[in-house]
């Protein structure tokens, strides 16, 4: 009697659970499905990955499609492993995909930042180089201006010097006398030449004019005056090292000399006049 009552209770319990499971399945299948004209949440937005959002899982029981009979109820009292994997798998895949996108975005951001820093450094270097070139150009321009000013000053000095080249003035005059028919310098003549030429050893901007005069007529007088003038020049060049280009010789022959009055007189014998001409303006400009 007791066994029959227990079996009846167990059977009623199984039937009750089976009815509840069937009612649940019927309610899930009775839910309206979205039509083509309706917008579902899955089709409403798309993620940044280009994939649609996760679709809601269809309502299925813990037995993964198995009938909720007594055996399945005893063997699978909780959710099955396949059911858990089916629920968790898409979420895990989406999380992995998001991690990968995050890593790629971080790498892209680092690359962009590195290129930006490199561009900034390159621009800074180019700006510094341009500033250096501008400074060099300014220095060169200033140097060119200074050189031009110096050149203008030198040109002005040279023009002044050229203008003063012919400004020679007589500073000393020496006369050497010769006996008729002779061209040898006496001791008195040498002493007079030494006195005149000694101060010229360290001087410039001077010339010496030598004029020879002789008695006689025509070419004979000119040749005699040339010999006497040559003896004076030879002594100045050999004994006092006067440059030859500073000495100008003129053979005057028997040219009459102007006296104190208006009447000119001719000389007797021979003589040589030495005139020292200096240009003090050129000397001061050179200093």
pLDDT of amino acid 272: 92
What is the torsion angle, in degrees rounded to the nearest 10, for the CA atoms of residue 102, residue 106, residue 111 and residue 116? Answer: 120
Contact call for residues 198 and 240 (beta carbons, < 8 A): yes
Run of H or E including 159: helix 81-163
pLDDT in single tens digits along all 287 residues of the chain: 556 666 666 666 655 655 555 554 444 444 444 444 444 444 444 455 556 665 555 555 555 555 555 555 555 555 566 766 776 878 888 898 889 899 999 999 999 999 999 999 999 999 999 999 999 999 999 999 898 888 888 877 767 766 665 667 777 788 989 888 888 888 999 999 999 888 888 888 889 999 999 888 888 889 989 999 999 999 999 998 989 999 999 988 887 765 544 444 555 678 999 999 887 765 555 55
Alpha-carbon span 73 to 5, nearest angstrom: 22
Which pLDDT value is given to residue 261?
Answer: 46
Contact between residue 28 and residue 59 where contact means Cβ atoms under 8 Å apart: yes
- What CATH number is given for 169-286 in this structure? 3.30.1330.60
pLDDT of the residue at 57: 57
DSSP for residue 185:
P
Q: What pLDDT score does 40 carry?
A: 45
pLDDT at 10: 64
Residues 6+ apart with CB under 8 A from 207: 168, 246, 247, 248, 277
Counting beta carbons within 10 angstroms of the beta carbon of residue 282, is it exposed (0 to 12), middle (13 to 18) or buried (19 or more)?
A: buried
Q: How many CB atoms lie within 10 A of CB 120?
A: 10
Give me 135's structure tokens: 């400074």
CB 172 within 8 A of CB 195: no
Taking the C-alpha atoms of residue 116 and residue 162, their distance in angstroms, rounded to an integer, is 68
Residue 198 CA, chain-centre distance (Å), reads 59
DSSP code, position 56: P
- Give residue 43's pLDDT: 44
Q: What are phi and psi of 189, to 5 degrees?
A: -65, -40
Supply the pLDDT for residue 262.
Answer: 44
């Amino acid at each position: 009697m007791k066994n029959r009552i227990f079996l009846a209770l167990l059977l009623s319990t199984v039937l009750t659970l089976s009815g509840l499971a069937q009612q649940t399945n019927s309610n899930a299948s009775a839910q309206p499905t979205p039509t083509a004209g309706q917008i579902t949440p899955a089709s409403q937005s798309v993620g940044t990955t280009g994939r649609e959002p996760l679709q809601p899982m269809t309502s299925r029981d813990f037995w993964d499609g198995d009938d909720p009979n007594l055996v399945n109820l005893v063997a699978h009292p909780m959710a099955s492993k396949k059911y858990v994997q089916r629920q968790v798998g898409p979420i895990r895949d989406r999380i992995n995909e998001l991690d990968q996108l995050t890593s790629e975005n971080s790498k892209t951001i680092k690359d962009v930042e590195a290129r930006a820093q490199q561009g900034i450094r390159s621009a800074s270097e180019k700006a510094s180089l341009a500033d250096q070139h501008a400074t060099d150009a300014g220095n060169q321009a200033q140097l060119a201006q200074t050189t031009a000013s110096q050149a203008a000053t030198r040109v002005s000095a040279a023009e002044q010097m050229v203008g003063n080249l012919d400004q020679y003035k007589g500073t000393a005059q020496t006369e050497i006398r010769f006996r008729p028919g002779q061209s040898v310098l006496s001791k008195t003549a040498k002493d007079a030449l030494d006195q005149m030429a000694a101060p010229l050893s360290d001087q410039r901007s001077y010339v010496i004019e030598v004029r020879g005069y002789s008695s006689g007529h025509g070419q004979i007088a000119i040749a005699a005056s040339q010999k006497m003038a040559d003896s004076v020049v030879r002594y100045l060049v050999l004994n006092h090292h006067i440059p030859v280009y500073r000495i100008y010789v003129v053979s005057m022959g028997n040219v009459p000399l102007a006296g104190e009055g208006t009447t000119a007189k001719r000389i007797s014998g021979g003589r040589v006049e030495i005139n020292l001409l200096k240009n003090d303006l050129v000397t001061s400009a050179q200093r």
